[in-house]
Structure 1
Amino acid sequence: MAVDGRRDTRDKLIDLTRAQDHLPTPNPNPAAGARIPPRADNGKARLKKIGVVLGGVMVLALAALAGAAFWFGLEAEKTYQHMIERFSTGGAQVTTTRYERGWLASRAETVVRFPGVPFEITAAHDISHGPIPFARLPDGVGGLRPVQAAVKTRFSLAAKGQDERLKFLSSLPALDADITVDLDGAGRVRTELPPLTKPAAGGGRLEWRGLNGEITFDREWKRFKTEIHAPGLSFSAPPPAAGGGQDPGGRPAVRGIPGGVTFEQLAVRADLHEGVGGYLLGETTVTLDSISAGPLLRLQGLQFSSVARAAGNDINLELTYRLDALGLADQRHGPALLAVEVRRLDAAAIGKFEKEMNAIYRQGLPEEQASLMLMGKMLGLVGELSKKVPELEVTKLSVKTAMGEITGKAKIVLDGSKADIGENPMLVLTAVSGDMELIMPAGVLKPLLAPLIMQDIQAYRQGGRLTAEEIGRLDPETLARVVDQALPLYLSRHDLTKYLIHDNGQYRIVATLRQGQILVNNQPWRVRPAQFP
């Protein structure tokens, strides 16, 4: 039994030993002790392996990112060249003077020149390649959102030639713009022009309170949304010196406007897209809170809006002008509204004219020669437009004054459907027809006619037609009543009122144009020949 027990113990020990193949090699030095040491912890080895793997992944990621940055640099250059080509189709001459493409960033410089304009615009671009524009991250541009490129552009003005009057342009602050181009080529432009206070000649001062805005565009540069805001601009001229004087150039000094000229809160909003014939369609609104010139003149709530829509292959325009109030000394007028519609403009003809006009500008011809060529192209444009019988209509004119409301309407039609005006421009005289009506209150006419009435009353007094007693009874209220009643009798005495008709307390003028003849209140309008001494 004892032998069997030892055998069982031996077999179990052998089995246990064979089962431990994964244990580390025993200590080869038996002298160190017969006890087999426990297996060492392998956690550090595993962390080291993970670190190696992660390091490899990061190296691969950085390599891929660097390769992507190079590829995005190529795409950014394509977008830049597309932008240059796009703007070069207009009248401006857009030239790339430098483009240095790097691995993670590029630099470029563009010069924009307009024909007939004595200055040029230089744009310096710092282009950070996507997908992550590392160079712009400290500026808060791009972030971790993948983009094609992030561009820092600085616009500056410089005079052409040596015109001393334009040397100040180089001292004006530059306009900074942050341009972000998305992966699909669309993007946005954020602009900012810092405030500026600058002394003017003769002791005046120019104060510019800055500008900021944003423009978004699609990948084809065919759709734009614009938001621009300028808080204000003011110019104060020094008061005139006693007895007049001269400016530094020896010319008579210009009298300053007391209080200066101030523009408050300019805003521009536009949503435009390229439509039929390449014409930009959409809505544009320009608002200005106020314009003031000293204490005597103040305009408030100015607004201009335009809407361009396609009608088949033609374009229709709606133009609206608004003014909330006009302050003139101690008088207040307003509001005022002018609404105009232009219909059936041939988009193809307009596009053709723009291309021809830009081609003339790009030739750099002398001003006289370019003007003659443009005149010929404009006559051709009128001929092409007339074939579609375009029309311009003043749908509403309303000017409210302290003396009453002035209203009006008008419509002009150019019908060249039966005549080739392009071949014979003189046919325009018979192709144009129109109607106009203007109605105004009596109070508007008083400043024009009251002096004539008062002059006659004094003449009648001196001639004995009116006695001193009769003149003495003309208190201000009675005299005002006499002027009101006499206004219709004096319409023919003034060049601006002789065509008016008194109609139920108001004054009206109706004009028509037919076959080159103008009728005013159904009577032929004859231009009085010039009088020479």
Structure 2
Amino acid sequence: MKKSSIALVVVAALAVAYPAASWMTGKRLEEKLSKMEKKDVLFSNFKVVKQSYTRGIFSSKQESTIELDAGGMSPVLTPSALPHSLQDTAATTPGQESAEAKAEPDISSPVRKPLQIQVINYIQHGPVPGILGVAAGKIETELVLDASTLAEIKKVFGDKKFVEIRTLLNYGGGGSFAITSPAVKTSVGVNQDKLDWKGLRFEIGFDAAYKKLNFNFNSPGLEVNAANGGISAKVGEIKMQGDAERVYPDGFIYLGTSKATISSFSFTNAQAQNKGVNLKDISLESNTSLKNDLLNAGLKFGIANIMMNDTNIGNFHYDYSLQRLHAPSVNQFFVLLREMDRLQQDAAAVVETQKKLKELGVEILKHDPVVALDRLSLTSKNGEFKAAAKFGFVGVQAEDFEVPTALLSKMEVSGQASLTGNLADDFIDASQTDPEARAMMRSLFYSQIDTWETQGYIKRDNKVSSADFSWKLGQMLVNGKPFPPTPTVGAAEAAPVERK
């Protein structure tokens, strides 16, 4: 057989096979896209109230009205939803309400209407959807907006699409989701202030069960300048990337790492004495891990350099962590909390859920969870303030949940704080431009420091002022002394006595 004949046979086979493959792919996509997994916590607040699907051989069109129950995204803790020990047991006879109860609004009745969003999906079937390589399908999503909203968007973006939403679905069930917005330079607002929006791109990759996610966000930033030249705000490049893996199929606890950065931020007002603020290298990092069913999560926030009124304040750090959280109980605890708002009309179900919540709370506290302030610091070339603390419960029993004061007595806190050098002076100078205001703030600050040192609440060693603090058995201690200070015998004798 000649080569030309073989080529014709191949082309003919493809001409028959590709439409068939595309049609079958389209059928599978329709089955997947026409239903929403209500059991999945990621979609539990969404409801498809209207949908139509028009399927062709190579492409399809899906039109949907999706209802978002914003009120159900966080439980509404009505009085009946609270544990019995926290409910108001003021004397009321059956069928009779107190005056306070009558005056309160009925928060058990939802006042927040669900938000409805109209969406159109234009779907190209695989195996080769468009020119994007091999995939089950490509989806271009359009948000249907009202005329007035579109008019406002057009004022900013002109004839450009203000947002493009694209989804690629793999044959294995996973895929990727991307949102992009174009860069624009325009004038906005009544005063026609100048806006330079540099655009954005946000991508999310997911597997078939939405168990594993990875994401990447990037925007070169934006700049806004007032038309009169007085106020200017600038945001530098914004980046975010990370990965996450869901622990439980019915929950929303994810493990993984993420990092977000903003290269710079500045705000100035040329018409004010205050020259503004300038921040550089802002970062936010998170890390969540699991070992032996115990969850550890940490968050680190930092600013590499802070300038206020042309004064270099230094760098700032705020790190905290959650340690030894019993993951199965924490997950189930929040799953039940999500259900509380739906159970308000079923008193028996509410009571049963309260019982389960208490049991889960006891189980969580059995593992001695800790909330830790790992680092709070402000550091400059002239000094540093730093603090650290830990908060937790010790020896909690099930019966402690019946009496809130008993639970508070099991709470323990410990920590340290210190101030070195002339950092306080730097901060006062940066925040106050008026010399008299500076002098007054210095006087008030050092007067208070002297008072606390005299009382023993601050220790001084050269240029270092420090204190240890704790809370145990319902008592706050600073450097081992009760705080606030108790009146001395002399003070009590000097107090005026009421005469009858």
Provide the residue aligned with 2:78 in structure 1. Answer: none
Q: Where do residues 22-421 of structure 1 align in structure 2 (5 Å cutoff)?
A: 51=5, 58-81=11-34, 85=38, 89-90=42-43, 92-95=45-48, 97-110=51-64, 111=66, 113-116=68-71, 121-133=117-129, 136-137=130-131, 141-142=132-133, 146-155=134-143, 168=152, 174-196=162-184, 197-237=186-226, 258-276=230-248, 278-294=252-268, 295-359=275-339, 383=362, 385-415=364-394, 417-421=396-400
Report the CA distance shift for 1:416/1:381 in structure 2 as closer, same or farther (over 3 A).
Answer: farther
1:514 to partner: Cα distance: 0.4
Give yes or no for contact 1:386–1:414 (8 Å, CA) kept in 2. Answer: yes
Give yes or no for contact 2:122–2:139 (8 Å, CA) kept in 1. Answer: yes
C-alpha distance in 2 between matches for 1:337 and 1:448: 16
Give yes or no for contact 1:91–1:357 (8 Å, CA) kept in 2. Answer: no
1:67 to partner: Cα distance: 1.8
C-alpha distance in 2 between matches for 1:189 and 1:265: 22
SS at 2:20's partner residue?
A: helix
C-alpha distance in 2 between matches for 1:505 and 1:155: 61
Give yes or no for contact 1:120–1:157 (8 Å, CA) kept in 2. Answer: no
Provide the residue aligned with 1:522 in structure 2. Answer: 480
TM-score w.r.t. the length of structure 2 is 0.70
Report the CA distance shift for 1:182/1:410 in structure 2 as closer, same or farther (over 3 A).
Answer: same
1:348 to partner: Cα distance: 2.4
SS at 1:427's partner residue?
A: helix
C-alpha distance in 1 between matches for 2:25 and 2:289: 37
Aligned residues: 413
Higher mean C-alpha displacement, 121-130 vs 381-390: 381-390
Give yes or no for contact 1:449–1:490 (8 Å, CA) kept in 2. Answer: no
C-alpha distance in 2 between matches for 1:491 and 1:194: 54
Provide the residue aligned with 1:511 in structure 2. Answer: 469
SS at 1:201's partner residue?
A: coil
Report the CA distance shift for 1:155/1:83 in structure 2 as closer, same or farther (over 3 A).
Answer: same
Q: Where do residues 420-431 of structure 1 align in structure 2 (5 Å cutoff)?
A: 420-431=399-410
C-alpha distance in 2 between matches for 1:199 and 1:221: 39
1:280 to partner: Cα distance: 0.8
Q: Which amino acid aligns with 1:524?
A: P
Moved over 6 A (4+): 156-159, 164-167, 169-172, 361-365, 374-381, 447-450, 486-489
1:97 to partner: Cα distance: 3.1
The percent of aligned pairs where both chains have the same amino acid is 20
Larger Rg belongs to: 1
Higher mean C-alpha displacement, 304-313 vs 55-64: 55-64
1:433 to partner: Cα distance: 0.5
Give yes or no for contact 1:309–1:316 (8 Å, CA) kept in 2. Answer: yes
Q: Which has the higher contact order (CA 8 A, sep 6+)?
A: 2
C-alpha distance in 1 between matches for 2:26 and 2:43: 27
Report the CA distance shift for 1:83/1:265 in structure 2 as closer, same or farther (over 3 A).
Answer: farther
**Which consecutive residues of structure 1, in runs of 5 or more, have no partner in the other structure?**
1-45, 240-256, 366-373, 451-457, 459-478, 529-533
Report the CA distance shift for 1:189/1:165 in structure 2 as closer, same or farther (over 3 A).
Answer: closer
Q: Which amino acid aligns with 2:245?
A: H
Provide the residue aligned with 1:432 in structure 2. Answer: 411
TM-score w.r.t. the length of structure 1 is 0.66
Residues 476-517 of structure 1, C-alpha deviations (whole Å, 9 max, x = no match): xxx9xxx99x9977525589x994332332111221010222
C-alpha distance in 2 between matches for 1:352 and 1:167: 46
Higher mean C-alpha displacement, 428-437 vs 324-333: 428-437
Q: Which amino acid aligns with 2:216?
A: E
C-alpha distance in 2 between matches for 1:221 and 1:68: 26
C-alpha distance in 2 between matches for 1:408 and 1:501: 15
**Which consecutive residues of structure 2, in runs of 5 or more, have no partner in the other structure?**
72-111, 269-274, 346-352, 430-435, 487-500
